[in-house]
């Protein structure tokens, strides 16, 4: 069922059926930016070709799921078509990323874990903010809940593991860190990421176009809102 394709100098591209209605294309199993670019290139080609019988495309870091309707199309036909789209995939151009700035109030009640992240890193909360807002992140994919973008890569010193016990409810707009990933909760949901601040932006609105503020491939920068780091959590 699993077939490998040879691609010189790269991890083999592995096609397999993740269910009787889902083809899974894996460009690797680890955090490799080159593999992720391949995911985006294949997504682009699939968007352009609009294969008969395909219902949904689910890109992630190193994998892409192609969901099809097995009553309308044979899995072998989907596999053959995707195999065709993988030929010379590295030649597929990627659009320049959109640039999105997200204002954030760091610390205080809106970022209750900022001091813990600082303690974990052995630096001040101000330094955590400087590091977190000092780099550009890439939207790798969306998942978990509508509009939740997985952003990478968080600089190593402030990469802090998830909470042992997730919170039952995280306020909408909360900015969190989980290991090398950062992201913004679009709606009040349970969550285990370390919360360091909050944005007043609406990350997802069902009646807006585009619905999601962040889309795969976007380049994101967090901008501290005036007032500096609220120290209330420490006080």
Query: What is the contact surface with another protein in residues (CB under 8 A)?
Result: 1-2, 16-22, 24, 29-31, 43, 55-65, 67, 70-71, 74-75, 141-148, 150, 187, 189, 204, 206, 211-212, 215-216
Question: In the complex with another protein, which residue's Cβ is closer, 43 or 196?
Answer: 43
Question: In the complex with another protein, which residue's Cβ is closer, 204 or 222?
Answer: 204
Question: In the complex with another protein, which residue's Cβ is closer, 43 or 81?
Answer: 43
Question: In the complex with another protein, which residue's Cβ is closer, 58 or 133?
Answer: 58
Q: How far is the CB of 71 from another protein (least distance, A)?
A: 6
3-state secondary structure the chain: CCEEECCCCCCCEEEEEEECCEEEEECCCCCCHHHHHHHHHHHHHHHHHCCCCEEEEEECCCEEEEEECCCCCCHHHHHHHHHHHHCCHHHCCCCCCCEEEEEEEEEHHHCCCHHHHHHHHCCCHHHHHHHHCCCCEEEEEECCCCCCEEEECCCHHHCECCCCCCEEEECCCEEEEEECEEEECCCCEEECCEEEEECCCCCECCCCCCCECCCCCCEEEEEECCCCCECCCCC
Would you state the structure tokens that stand for residue 105, as one six-digit string? 């109030």
Helix axes 75-86, 33-49, angle to 10 degrees: 120
Question: In the complex with another protein, which residue's Cβ is closer, 17 or 201?
Answer: 17
Q: How far is the CB of 145 from another protein (least distance, A)?
A: 6
Q: How far is the CB of 58 from another protein (least distance, A)?
A: 3
Contact 225, 103 (CB under 8 A): yes
Q: How far is the CB of 225 from another protein (least distance, A)?
A: 26
Q: How far is the CB of 211 from another protein (least distance, A)?
A: 6
Q: How far is the CB of 110 from another protein (least distance, A)?
A: 22
Question: In the complex with another protein, which residue's Cβ is closer, 206 or 235?
Answer: 206
Q: How far is the CB of 142 from another protein (least distance, A)?
A: 4
The Cα 235–Cα 130 span in angstroms is 21
Question: In the complex with another protein, which residue's Cβ is closer, 106 or 150?
Answer: 150
């Amino acid at each position: 069922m699993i077939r490998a394709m040879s691609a010189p100098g790269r991890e083999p591209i592995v096609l397999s059926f993740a269910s009787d209605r889902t083809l899974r294309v894996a460009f690797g199993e680890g955090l490799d930016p080159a593999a992720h670019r391949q995911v985006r290139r294949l997504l682009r080609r699939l968007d352009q070709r609009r294969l008969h019988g395909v219902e949904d495309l689910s890109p992630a870091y190193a994998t892409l799921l192609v969901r099809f309707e097995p009553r309308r199309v044979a899995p072998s036909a989907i596999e053959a078509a995707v195999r065709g789209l993988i030929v010379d995939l590295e030649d597929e151009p990627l659009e320049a990323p959109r640039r999105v700035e997200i204002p954030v109030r760091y610390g205080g009640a809106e970022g209750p874990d900022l001091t813990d992240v600082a303690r974990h890193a052995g630096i001040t909360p101000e330094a955590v903010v400087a590091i977190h807002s000092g780099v550009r992140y890439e939207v790798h994919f969306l998942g978990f809940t509508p509009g939740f973008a997985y952003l990478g890569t968080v600089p190593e010193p402030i990469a802090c593991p998830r909470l042992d016990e997730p919170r039952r409810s995280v306020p909408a707009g909360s900015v969190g860190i989980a290991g090398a990933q950062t992201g913004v909760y679009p709606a009040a949901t349970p969550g285990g990421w370390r919360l360091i601040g909050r944005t007043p932006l609406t990350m997802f609105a069902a009646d807006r176009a585009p619905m999601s503020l962040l889309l795969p491939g976007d380049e994101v920068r967090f901008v501290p809102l005036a007032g500096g780091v609220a120290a209330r959590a420490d006080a």
